[in-house]
Amino acid sequence: MARRLGVTPFRDLLAHSIAADPTMRAAADALDGVLNAATRAIPNVLLYARLAHDTGFVEPVPMLPPLTRLADLSGGLAELSAELLDLLAWQLHVEGYEAAVNVQAKLELISGSLVLHRRRGTPWAVRNGLETALRLPAVVPEWYQYGGKPYFFRARLDVSGSAWDESMAADAVRLIFDNKNVRSWLDCLETYSTNPLPVAVALGGVSRTLTRPRIWFPPVTPPCLPIRAAAASRSVTRAGISPVGPAPRPPRPRRMAGFAARTITRSAICPMI
């Protein structure tokens, strides 16, 4: 009958010749606590499985069923501690490990160290090392892509929103020299940051109404006077008030327009050849 680690009492593993002995049964029961603790600690030895779990890497070959059951009994694979990460980085000769900006960068550097060692000396290795350790977008154009000298290349980092300082610049140069090939030379390390400005578009209009008060009298019909022996006469009285002022100015509509803009800051570090 098959027995499973972690769930089988040690008493069941005793031979029939001694299984009935009370002393041996008591000794077997006393060992259960020690053996179960040791069995549940086995998943902690699975360093590479835990590394793949922490980085989200899907393993092409899953763990063996007994190890999977032990990991489930232990509450899942435990995260790697900082001390274990340092030991793994030393064992795998991870370049640029000290320049990693956070724990996730260290995990990715260790998990991808084998692939990086195989492709070291290529533009991919330089770009991947910069992006993984510094967590910044990087571009590595070669000399024929920007009209430079043969066997030269540049590295360009987008430092927008990051706390870029002198120490990070030194780490970037060290990462480049660790991953480039011997015959290639660094032309310069360029950094640029982009800060988008808010966009505002508006259209304003102003209207004005001018009122000019006037006093108006209707036309007066001349009175008809009777004709006598004397001569006839008539009188007409007209009055009007018309204030004189400046001519009204037509309203001038005001237009307001905004536009999108951004500021770009660039810097370059050129090593002495």
Please state the rounded mean pLDDT for residues 20-45.
Answer: 78
- Residue 267: phi and psi, rounded to 5, are -145, 160
Residue 174: what pLDDT? 92
pLDDT digits (tens, 9 = 90+) for 119-159: 999 999 999 999 999 999 999 999 999 999 999 999 999 99
**Stronger pLDDT, 212 or 142, i.e. the higher one:** 142
Q: Indicate if the pLDDT at residue 105 is higher than 50.
A: yes
Residue 1: what pLDDT? 55
Region of poorest pLDDT, from 72-76, 140-144, 265-269: 265-269
pTM (predicted TM-score)? 0.58
Residue 37: what pLDDT? 72
Read off the DSSP letter of residue 12: G
Helix 103-111 / helix 123-134 crossing angle, nearest 10 deg:
150
Match 């590394």 to its residue by tokens.
51
Nearest alpha-carbon partner for 268 in 133, 169, 177, 137: 169
**What is the average pLDDT score of the chain?**
77
115 close to 153: Cβ distance less than 8 angstroms: no
CA distance 102 to 145: 33
13 close to 78: Cβ distance less than 8 angstroms: no
Beta-strand runs (E) in 15-149: 138-139
